[in-house]
Amino acid sequence: MPLEADVLAAFPAEVQIPARLVADSVAASSEASPRVLVVLDDDPTGTQSVANLPVLTRWDVADFAWAFGYEVNGQRQRAVYVLTNTRSLDPAEAASRNEEIVRNALAAAASADPALRLSFVSRSDSTLRGHYPLEPDVIAATVTAVNGETTDGVVIVPAFPDAGRVTIGGVHFMRGTGEDSGQLTPVAETEFARDASFGFANSEMAKYVEEKSKGRFPADSVIVLDLDIIRASNDPLISAKAIADAIEPATDSTPIVADIVTENDLRALALGLEEAERRGKKLLYRVGPPFVRARIGQEIRTELSGDEAYAGNTPSEAGGLIVVGSHVGVTTRQLNALTEQHRAARIVEIDVEQLLGDNAGAYLDETVGTVVAALHAGDVIVHTSRLLIKTSDAAESLRIARTVSAAVVAVVNRTLKTFPPRFVIAKGGITSSDVAAHGLEIRHAIVRGPMLPGIVSLWEPMDGPAKGIPYIVFAGNVGDDQSLAQVTRKLSSTF
């Protein structure tokens, strides 16, 4: 495994760029024709890098009207998140959902303000799992079908430095932790590349694009914005021109991949993309979580305290509910650390084999009763059994995941309507999506900010039975072994 310092030695040093410079550039472009980024988030963990933005779990035209009308200090927000949960869907369902969302967003924008421009962001996994290139393809085709606008380039930025995912020299890496700190592992050599539904073989982004597009976009057709371009000058405006110049040849959804190691790199890229769009380039984005924050010029929000998490709401006397569905290694380690430290918490395991058996209904009734009773005394940790039932069939793998997720949702929803918890933490992408939309019946929420630096977002439900209950969206593949315990400790009255 290479050392990050050695790989970076071939490139210029990062350039300090204030978020305000990007925000001012975006504001100038939006003066005559305001622009909003519509972020189609394939699971809700994409919100972990932003603050004070609206998020939707439904996407009717009326829902977009609410989001486009949401203001902070009299200002319309620069981005709106839509929770698509398409990473849990098969390709046909994912395509249909993307198309419906784009059509409704465009219709709502036309009704709200004829001058309002929408740019679309397909937010997906920083470890390269998800429906690519299907989702950008569908978004681009739908925009063309509705208003005739063609997409020149699809900008692919999976990097998530806060969580240790960086792209250098066109290769996507995971940073090591602990004893491996300072080392880089090509992402194709990690457990994420062996995902049953979305596995892949290439860490070099141009080759990843060729692999996933089945040769439609050959590797040598991909535009690579390496650090020599991103950091072309100590003057960010000169670098912005260099980035826009590199993007100039893009046409007909040309893939464009970008090196990113730091937040400053993301801001440099944002200025370059702003310049390219000012020149008339029509761009679509396929990105990891922090891209939107940098693209709109938002400052990095410091982590929220426990008091801030409950601000404006009176905490319930009930225990909190921690729901763990993800099976990646870091989640299991985090769960072990939490259960070891939080001795006052009741642990309820959902046996996946029983969920797939003939008596699933009775088993669920029993589980709900156990959870509700335990919440009267303190926090409850609900997790699926750690024995992962594997199958080589991608469709069957998704079916099992849905069955498990539906059971988790039922436990949360029935608990909420019987004895509402003090807080809810959902660990895992599909888990947190389904818990939000169906377990807690959240339709509209505001992302208040991160519970840990740059990762793990707090949603404030704005309607439905969970209104007033802090909801924590915790990706399966982020944080160190202590992160779940740290977040729980902030919110709990018994930990």
Query: Residue 335: what pLDDT?
Result: 93
Contact 319, 379 (CB under 8 A): yes
48 three-state secondary structure: helix
Closest CA to 87 of 410, 401, 363: 401
Q: What is the pLDDT of residues 172-214, one digit of tens each?
A: 999 998 888 889 999 999 999 999 889 999 999 999 999 999 9
Does position 391 have pLDDT exceeding 80, yes or no? no
Does position 398 have pLDDT exceeding 90, yes or no? no
Q: How far apart are the C-alpha atoms of 111 and 78, rounded to whole Å? A: 18
**Which H or E run contains 386?**
none
pTM of this prediction? 0.91
Query: Residue 326: what pLDDT?
Result: 75
Cα separations in angstroms, 390 against 85, 196, 332:
21, 8, 17
Query: Residue 426: what pLDDT?
Result: 95
Query: Residue 400: what pLDDT?
Result: 75
Q: How far apart are the C-alpha atoms of 171 and 242, rounded to whole Å? A: 21
More reliable by pLDDT, 454 or 20: 20
Does position 395 have pLDDT exceeding 80, yes or no? no
Q: How far apart are the C-alpha atoms of 250 and 280, rounded to whole Å? A: 11
Residue 164 zone, left/alpha/beta (φ > 0; ψ -120 to 50; rest): left
Query: Residue 430: what pLDDT?
Result: 78
Query: Residue 390: what pLDDT?
Result: 60
Cα torsion 154, 266, 202, 433: sign: negative
Contact 53, 81 (CB under 8 A): yes
Contact 457, 449 (CB under 8 A): yes
Angle between the 134-147 and 91-112 helix axes, to the nearest 10 degrees?
40
Q: What is the pLDDT of residues 97-156, one digit of tens each?
A: 999 999 999 999 999 888 899 999 999 999 999 999 999 999 999 999 999 999 999 999
Q: What is the pLDDT of residues 286-335, one digit of tens each?
A: 999 999 999 999 999 999 999 999 998 888 889 999 999 877 788 889 99
Q: How far apart are the C-alpha atoms of 157 and 124, rounded to whole Å? A: 10
Q: How far apart are the C-alpha atoms of 133 and 135, rounded to whole Å? A: 6
Mean pLDDT along residues 54-76? 92
Closest CA to 159 of 267, 18, 59, 74: 267
Mean pLDDT along residues 219-243? 98
Q: How far apart are the C-alpha atoms of 41 and 47, rounded to whole Å? A: 8
Query: How many CB atoms are located within 10 Å of the residue 190 CB?
Result: 18
Mean pLDDT along residues 432-461? 93
Q: How far apart are the C-alpha atoms of 50 and 52, rounded to whole Å? A: 7
More reliable by pLDDT, 75 or 192: 192
Query: Residue 461: what pLDDT?
Result: 95
Cα torsion 333, 338, 343, 345: sign: negative
Sorted by where each starts, the structural domains of the chain and their CATH numbers stand as 4-295 (3.40.50.10840), 307-491 (3.40.980.20)
Q: Which of these ranges, 337-346, 405-414, 427-436, has the smallest mean pLDDT?
A: 427-436
Q: Band the pLDDT of 388: cuts 50, 70, 90.
A: low
Average pLDDT, the chain: 93
Does position 244 have pLDDT exceeding 90, yes or no? yes
